[in-house]
Structure 1
Amino acid sequence: MNDTAAELSAETFRPEGRRRHRRPRPSGTGTGLRRALVLAVAVPVASAALAGPSAFAAGKTGVTAKTGAADADDQQMAANLETRVLDQRLGSDVSGVVLDAASDTTIWGHNAATALMPASNAKLATSTAALTVLGPDHRFTTKVVYGDGTLTLVGGGDRTLTTADLAELAKTAVAGLKVAGLTSVKVAVDDSLFPEPTLANGWNDGYYPDTVAPVRALVVDGHGVQDTSIDAGQVFAKQLVDAGVTVDGDVARATAGTRDVPVARHRSAPLSDIVHTMLKHSDNDIAETLLRMTALGAGRPATFTGGTEVVRHILSDVYGVSLDHFELYDGSGLSRADRIPAATLAQILELLTEPRYAHTLGSVLDGLPVSGEAGSTLGPEYGRFDDPHSECAVGKVHAKTGTLTGAIALSGLTLGKDGRWKVFSFVENGSTADPNTIKDAMDGLAATVNGCWA
């Protein structure tokens, strides 16, 4: 367990009161839970059927006091937020909320139930569902099989597959060919695990292939190309040639036969590591691949619809998160049709403060970028937490970023001045200010929650 995860298991995080919208998790883990999920999502899930009463339904703006007298630091923080959320850089369409994890109370809220474009904050929902359905130790398998003179590279949904991994597969395959006395083969790729790529509702084809690649079950080195499967097959074929094997013809798409002989396989890093990478760098391609693998893990089609149905089920029926006004059409948050209230994002993050979910969801917490962390989306290379009002919070805020044209979000956790963990979410849509200045204002709100900007 890393230092951050250890902190989250500390006494500070043991709940002292009734949790918001929380329902008991189904008994059993692993196969038992996955079987329950398959049965539960066999019928498409409707939004209204899953949505419970919202804790934020009453009133759009204002401060909800703790049970008993709110402490002076929280009162000051709420008062500061009430002023700072009106920063002109944020525009007029902004939503925010701050929860106290230990006492199960809402310290402050501003339009918290208003559903806005969440941008990459949607990845919080995707990663929570993937870890719950598949398990943090799950690994994705890429295989090579042989039949009728053809080596077929079979994609298994590993978006982290590398050239080095393919080199190992090729090395094993070549050794087998030599034993069999074969010096030439054809090469094919099988990416039939996923259906033919389509655009999500709210996407445009201008996203392809740089912002996100067409979602296929086979890719190497995260290449942003139109056909990642053929590309991976070509890399594999070149390695065979370099090892002295003749490759006949061009790499083609095919479906591996049931009688094909297994030759080699590669298993990915654990899902927990992949989620960590996806969140640190806000990787759209990993998010969309995980959405499909999550759907398959729950017995649903590997499509945007199948994946988002499962996400809805996990959030609502497994964890009791409110889906009021929740609309999700992809796994990455690139869709301009996605809508998630700050209240819902905060409830997802609040799960990370509960020790009972530490094993399953720990990599979400560990994967959240840390304010000022180089190499993450909150690093200095992105100009984050370098404003005079927010630089005091460097190293103190764990949060997921989100950026689209017309939408910027920041949702995460930080220790308040009282030493208790605060969960926050801030989302703005439609501000006409420079995006960098909007992010400065967002960072200032997080520093306010931390209390270092008092």
Structure 2
Amino acid sequence: MRIANAVRPRLARAVTAAGPRIARLAKAVRPRSSHLPRPRTVRTWQYTAGAATAGLALAAGVVTVAGPWDANGQRTAEGDRAAALERSGGADHGRPGTEAGARPAPSAPPVLTGLGGVTSAVGPRKGAGGGQALPDVLAPFLDASALGDGHAAAVVDLTTGERLYGTGAGQALTPASTTKIATAVAALSALGADHRLTTRAALEPDTGEVVLVGGGDPTLTARKGADGWASLRTLAAGTVKALRARDVHEVTLSYDTTLYAGTAQHPIGVNENIAPVTALTADEGRTDGSAKGPAVRVDDPARDAAAKFAALLEDAGVKTTAPGPSKATTRAETLATVSSPPLSALVERMLTNSDNDIAEALARQTALASGEPATFEGGARAIATQLRKLGLPLSGASFHDGSGLDRDDRLTADLLTALLVKAADPGHPGLRPVLTGLPVAGFTGTLTDRYTDGAAGVVRAKTGTLTGVNTLAGTVVDTDGHLLAFAFLASGTTDAQQAQSTLDDAATALAACGCD
């Protein structure tokens, strides 16, 4: 996997500076097979001391863009930092047009910890933290006033499935963008990791009308150099070729968004952090040409995408009318198509960048696969249905969207850790992108500028920030070489930066602990 030039020196400096500590923290948790051990079954794990560098290098290949946002439409500290990032991120998500595009999603251990090296067994939990009890280690952080008037936490050993710690773990709190973990699990479970979303241009045989049919791909782009994502330019070129073969040089153009139903506007209203949700959109309806961060969005992304498509046809010599809404008939003949990368790549991009537009699109796709209407409400029901089928603990959980922007969402620390345990289960290999998509502390996505003086490269976690809400859920390797899942939720916070730092410190303490 390639590493962005901007990241490579930071990796080398981080590993060199940390020395034996990072090597110890990053004991690579490689099972003897390509899968993680089954939860609730003790397995012998292997580690390689030299895998810290390899694991960090692999982790740096994840795309970095924007973060989650305040449900009241306010910029959050998390969003401001993500928007300030200079690079657009990493290398290969298995995009179409590459050999990797046909491969299944990577298994978690190589991505989490690195490949190769001399190995030796990692035994049972040894209590390398000097015999400290885990509650004693975490209490100074989780009981801090910075976490407001309500908090919950859970820690689970993914090696054994053993619950190691819990406080208020069954209490349902506002999860913010950690909701995206649930959306990812539900979408992968309903659709499969290899599923792709297709946008097509179709010709009506009776009228000669060309219809641009939205397939719900939130990553469709009209930019030059699409870098493997589905390109509106490629679709236009294929359409022009097919029309010329029919000696057609002028068409009536329309667009079809009927795959989705209900209101397109998220309950937070007009907002720079999410576009109206529609089955046809290009570049997430951004008006400033950016690919990340907050941006003013067009009020009708479908019309905007169709207008861009019309301009591309015109540039190639095919005259069009001004596009308007329509619906393709079953007799419409497909002229050209473009498809998204596999769902595994969309999930990884969503989690790494905390992409709200992808999250809401995946909620609607999950609804369609579950027999629900493709609306906010239908997506919320479908997510709950899919998680219930997986036997996950839904007591107290309440879904209202796929992104976590809705302040009425409720999740428990128990559910968040259970989602991560399920993603690690070798019986569900299609859920692995939930782990591989988590941002890497100090290096990628919404954790790029966090943990720079903490457990950089060792913590992988989904962030969540709304006004008065700070959450963090992910995985960490402790000093005994055990892979742990954790979830921290705090409500009623008054200083977002201080609350965020406290949660980061708690995760760092967890990484440095081989607690009893």
Question: 1: distance between equivalents of 2:345 and 2:162?
Answer: 32
Question: 2: distance between equivalents of 1:15 and 1:180?
Answer: 57
1:333 aligns with 2:426: no
Structure with greater proportional helix content: 1
Q: Corresponding residue for 2:499? A: 438
1:226 aligns with 2:299: yes
243, 250, 253: which one aligns with 1:177? 243
Equivalent pair of 1:13/1:421 in contact (CA under 8 Å) = no
Q: Corresponding residue for 1:246? A: 319
User: How far 1:180 moved relative to its partner?
Assistant: 2.2
Q: One-letter code of the match for 1:273? A: A
SS at match of 2:447: coil
The alpha-carbon distance between structure 1 residues 88 and 403, as it changes in their structure 2 partners (threshold 3 A), is same
Q: Corresponding residue for 2:372? A: 300
379, 386, 389: which one aligns with 1:314? 386
**Matched positions, count:** 389
User: How far 1:7 moved relative to its partner?
Assistant: 4.8
Name the TM-score, length of structure 1 as normaliser: 0.80
1:37-116 to structure 2, matched below 5 A, reads 71=127, 73=129, 75-116=132-173
CA displacement 1:347-398 (0-9 Å, x = unmatched): 11112332222x2111111100010014x00001xxx113xxxx23000011
User: How far 1:211 moved relative to its partner?
Assistant: 1.8
Q: Which structure 1 segments of 5+ residues have no match?
A: 20-67
Q: Corresponding residue for 2:178? A: 121
User: How far 1:453 moved relative to its partner?
Assistant: 11
User: How far 1:9 moved relative to its partner?
Assistant: 5.0
The alpha-carbon distance between structure 1 residues 116 and 142, as it changes in their structure 2 partners (threshold 3 A), is same
Equivalent pair of 2:39/2:425 in contact (CA under 8 Å) = no
SS at match of 1:377: helix
CA displacement 1:74-101 (0-9 Å, x = unmatched): 7443311122212222123111111122
Question: 2: distance between equivalents of 1:261 and 1:297?
Answer: 24
Q: Corresponding residue for 2:233? A: 167
Equivalent pair of 1:77/1:451 in contact (CA under 8 Å) = no
The alpha-carbon distance between structure 1 residues 262 and 353, as it changes in their structure 2 partners (threshold 3 A), is closer
CA displacement 1:244-296 (0-9 Å, x = unmatched): 12222x21000012222211111111000111101000000100011111111
Equivalent pair of 1:78/1:107 in contact (CA under 8 Å) = no
Q: Corresponding residue for 1:392? A: 454
SS at match of 2:463: strand
User: How far 1:236 moved relative to its partner?
Assistant: 0.3
1:211 aligns with 2:234: no
Equivalent pair of 2:141/2:503 in contact (CA under 8 Å) = no
Equivalent pair of 1:276/1:366 in contact (CA under 8 Å) = yes
Equivalent pair of 1:8/1:355 in contact (CA under 8 Å) = no
1:291 aligns with 2:358: no
**121-130 or 307-316: bigger deviation:** 307-316
1:355-374 to structure 2, matched below 5 A, reads 355-357=426-428, 359-374=429-444
Q: One-letter code of the match for 1:122? A: T
Question: 2: distance between equivalents of 1:310 and 1:177?
Answer: 40
SS at match of 2:446: coil
The alpha-carbon distance between structure 1 residues 436 and 341, as it changes in their structure 2 partners (threshold 3 A), is same
1:425 aligns with 2:487: yes
User: How far 1:413 moved relative to its partner?
Assistant: 0.7
SS at match of 1:130: helix
User: How far 1:171 moved relative to its partner?
Assistant: 1.3
User: How far 1:452 moved relative to its partner?
Assistant: 6.2
1:14 aligns with 2:37: yes
Superposition RMSD on alpha carbons, in Å? 2.5
Question: 1: distance between equivalents of 2:358 and 2:252?
Answer: 30
Equivalent pair of 1:99/1:106 in contact (CA under 8 Å) = yes
Q: Which structure 2 segments of 5+ residues have no match?
A: 3-25, 43-123, 225-230, 286-296
Equivalent pair of 2:454/2:505 in contact (CA under 8 Å) = no
Equivalent pair of 2:154/2:166 in contact (CA under 8 Å) = yes
Q: Corresponding residue for 1:191? A: 257
Equivalent pair of 1:77/1:448 in contact (CA under 8 Å) = no
Q: One-letter code of the match for 1:331? A: G
Equivalent pair of 1:89/1:437 in contact (CA under 8 Å) = yes
Q: Corresponding residue for 2:421? A: 350
212, 215, 223: which one aligns with 1:156? 215
User: How far 1:18 moved relative to its partner?
Assistant: 6.6
The alpha-carbon distance between structure 1 residues 310 and 172, as it changes in their structure 2 partners (threshold 3 A), is same
Equivalent pair of 1:151/1:185 in contact (CA under 8 Å) = yes
Q: One-letter code of the match for 2:363? A: L
Question: 1: distance between equivalents of 2:235 and 2:338?
Answer: 7
User: How far 1:204 moved relative to its partner?
Assistant: 2.7
User: How far 1:199 moved relative to its partner?
Assistant: 4.9
User: How far 1:403 moved relative to its partner?
Assistant: 0.9
1:263 aligns with 2:322: no
Equivalent pair of 1:187/1:252 in contact (CA under 8 Å) = yes
Q: Corresponding residue for 1:40? A: none
Q: Corresponding residue for 2:114? A: none
The percentage of counterpart residues that share the same residue type is 37
Q: Corresponding residue for 1:52? A: none
1:267-282 to structure 2, matched below 5 A, reads 267-282=339-354
1:22-41 to structure 2, matched below 5 A, reads none
User: How far 1:225 moved relative to its partner?
Assistant: 1.9
CA displacement 1:216-255 (0-9 Å, x = unmatched): 000111223221111110010000111112222x210000
CA displacement 1:300-319 (0-9 Å, x = unmatched): 2112222222221222222x
Equivalent pair of 1:86/1:92 in contact (CA under 8 Å) = no
Equivalent pair of 2:260/2:364 in contact (CA under 8 Å) = yes
